[in-house]
Chain A
Amino acid sequence: MAVTTPPAEANQRTSRLTGVRRAFAPVAEARGMTRTMLWIGAGITLAFVLIALLAPVIAPYDFDTFQANGKRFPQLAPPSRDHLMGTNVQSTDVLSRVIWGTQTELKVVIVSLIISIGVGVPLGLFSGYFGGKLDRILVLIMDALLVFPFLLLAIVIAFLLADKVGQGILTAAIAITVVYIPLYFRVVRNHTISIREEPFVEAARALGAKPMTIIRKYVFFNVVQNVPPLATLNAADAILTLAALGFLGYGIQPTEGAEWGYDVNRAVSDAASGIWWTGLFPGLAIVLLVTGLTLLGEGLSETVNPVLRKRPVAPVDLEATRSIEIEEQ
């Protein structure tokens, strides 16, 4: 029992499976309100995913259809049997735009999550494990990015990319990504630093395991547990950011797809005349989807970590980061 032997190659598959099972065990064990939150959140999120996938089937019209059978839809018509959520100033069907909007939001969020996890997690792992000068520089840059108001950063990126890449899903996703990479970096890096000093990692090092092997086999699985709750909460945040970008005119080109934030912006001018349906429904869609994702994320983070110690935004975390940095100096 003196030294933990690293698992032989043959055992790798089973050990990985138990790792996965162990990671999911808290979800099954969740009780009380956490469990309720988890399931309600999962339900709402799933419902939106289904709506996005089935949009071509369930949406009555295309997102930019303003006429049927050669007859133009009425402008700003209140909800009726023909148009369950009414029509907007361009005579398009609000219900259809809300449904197609689901697809846009999820596309952007998925692309941005993949990029930000794909960049943030490896950077955090290497930076945390190897330390040194590169780590210092990365921490400084990421901290500077974190200090900056998220939305403003996203706006600036979208503003700059609008000329080069054009306004679209990719531009929006990149703008959002830049905002979230530092979050993953910070959480993964700080966790890696604490894992690096654990006896089992030291044992592996003593046995002559290469750094890459240690990172892959020992550090990664311990650190990666933090990612799903963070990713879910980020997805919620990303939707809000996208909607805000859309509201300010930097989201998706109106010709490319329906976007909820853009629709709410167009509805502001309707509000003065008491027209509520053009803004209410896309707005509610945002609130509902973000609520679902938040409930799911909060539930996950509370199950993975009942003491609430490693919340990315909790002030205690900042103190911890600072003390780690001071210790290093």
Chain B
Amino acid sequence: MASKGTSLRKYALVRLALVIPMLFILLTMVFLLMRVAPGDPISAALGGHAPQSQIDEIKAQLGYDEPIWKQYFQYLGQIARGNLGTTITDRRPVTDVVRENGAATLELTFYAMLVALIVGVTFGLLAGRFRDTWIDGTGRLFGIVIYAMPVFFLGLMAQLFFGSYLGWLPTSDRASPIVEATMETHTGLFTVDSLINGDWDAFVDSVKHLILPAVTLGLVTAGVFIRLIRVNVIRTMKDDYIEAARARGIDERSVVYQHAFRNALVPVITVVGLTVALLLSGAVLTETTFNWPGIGKTLVVYLQNRDYAAVQGLIVVFALVVVVASLVIDFVNAYIDPRIRY
């Protein structure tokens, strides 16, 4: 047991060390893209009509007048200290933007992932188990069509049907204006905060607002799970130990449910990590469709205002989230599967 502990710790340390070059490359890439690309971000953000003196002043403030290598080290240093820069258009620290809008994105993506897992695992296992039957056919067709469905189109259709036509669910914002104004925030997650406050009506209201965006984003993400889990089940069913289990006379049901499914689901953890990137991209679109005040929608607004500093800061945030997610997933995997060691 002791040796297991040390090797796991060693793995964790090596893996952590490997994050540094990855982060470094990502940050450098963002810098190269945003700063070295020719053009004048400051005048672009100010609408192109600002007087030269004002442009120069802001440039000096942001350090954009320094030589490029100096800017690069400043940028790395700032990020290391947790400073993601200040937006040009409304002079807000990017960290404030993240704090104010991050909870909305977190809430949306969390519930979306929940929907994706439930739908994806169920359909994926069934499709893989009953390969080449009508169940597999339906499951795969669903998987393909849902993959082919842009999240914003599915969202639009959901708005039309459940919002305009049936009038069951709200189609924009996180909560009704009154609820949003009176909500006492603790975590920033409306479904959690309303429960902490013991306000049942506010809870119902936020859940109602959450259903369409979360299900939309979740269903689209589920497509990935269906495809991968199906393939995994098929691969697992061909493995030797399944054959061995059958040869020992274990009945087919428990071969499938105990042996095959369990092993086919191990890679799901990895896939969850991979889908974080997908969820974030999807969140940008979903938030725009449902007017959901998260980081993604904020990013789109800054993109439209051509605010380079804000875009750069938010992109760094997304990159950090993805790297951290992959790190966490690898740790979990290593913890579960003793074969994963350096």
Contacts and interface: CB of A to CB of B under 8 A. Distances in A.
Given A144-B26, A148-B26, A264-B153, A291 B285 contact: no
Contacts of A144: 22, 25-26, 29
A240 interface: yes
B152 A294 contact: no
B177 interface: no
B322 interface: yes
B289 A291 contact: no
Contacts of A101: none
A70 interface: no
A244 B150 contact: yes
Interface in A113-164: 140-141, 143-145, 147-152, 155-157, 159-160, 163-164
Nearest to A244: B285
B33 A283 contact: no
Interface string A254-285: 00000001001101100111101001100100
Contacts of B304: 249
Contact of B303 (A248, A271, A279, A295): A248
Nearest to A265: B152
Interface string A22-53: 00000000001100000000000000000000
A290 to B, nearest CB: 4
A152 B234 CA distance: 33
B281 A280 contact: no
A243 interface: yes
Contact of A294 (B144, B235, B300, B326): B144
Given A140-B22, A152-B280, 19 more contacts: A32-B132, A147-B326, A148-B26, A148-B319, A149-B277, A151-B284, A152-B318, A159-B303, A159-B306, A160-B33, A261-B152, A264-B153, A264-B156, A274-B164, A279-B153, A280-B157, A283-B156, A313-B228, A314-B231
Nearest to A140: B25
A93 interface: no
Interface string B167-189: 00001000000000000000000
A265 B304 CA distance: 14
B44 interface: yes
A286 B156 contact: no
B234 A308 contact: yes
Contacts, number: 163
A247 interface: yes
A287 B154 CA distance: 10
A152 B157 CA distance: 24
Interface of A: 32-33, 140-141, 143-145, 147-152, 155-157, 159-160, 163-164, 236, 240, 243-244, 247-250, 261, 264-265, 267-268, 271-274, 276, 279-280, 283, 286-288, 290-291, 294-295, 298, 307-308, 311, 313-316, 318, 326
B152 A264 contact: yes
29 contacts: A140-B25, A141-B25, A145-B29, A147-B277, A149-B277, A149-B281, A151-B285, A152-B318, A156-B33, A159-B306, A160-B33, A160-B39, A164-B39, A248-B285, A248-B288, A248-B303, A264-B156, A268-B156, A271-B159, A271-B160, A271-B163, A274-B164, A279-B160, A283-B156, A286-B148, A308-B234, A313-B274, A314-B228, A315-B270
Task: Name the residue in B137, B144, B304 with the highest tally of chain A Cβ atoms < 10 Å from its Cβ.
Answer: B144
Contacts of A143: 22
Nearest to A273: B164
Contacts of A141: 25, 29
Contacts of A298: 144
B150 A261 contact: yes
Contacts of B274: 313, 315
Contacts of A295: 144
B277 A148 contact: yes
B150 A240 contact: yes
B147 interface: yes
A243 B288 CA distance: 14
B167 to A, nearest CB: 10
A217 to B, nearest CB: 33
Contacts of B278: 149-150
Given A147-B326, A264-B156, A294 B148 contact: yes
A5 to B, nearest CB: 37
B217 interface: no
A157 B33 contact: yes
B313 to A, nearest CB: 12
Interface in B133-158: 136-137, 144-145, 147-150, 152-153, 156-157
A160 B29 contact: no
Contacts of A145: 29
A288 to B, nearest CB: 8
Contacts of B156: 264, 267-268, 271, 279, 283
Interface in B267-284: 267, 270-271, 274, 277-278, 280-282, 284
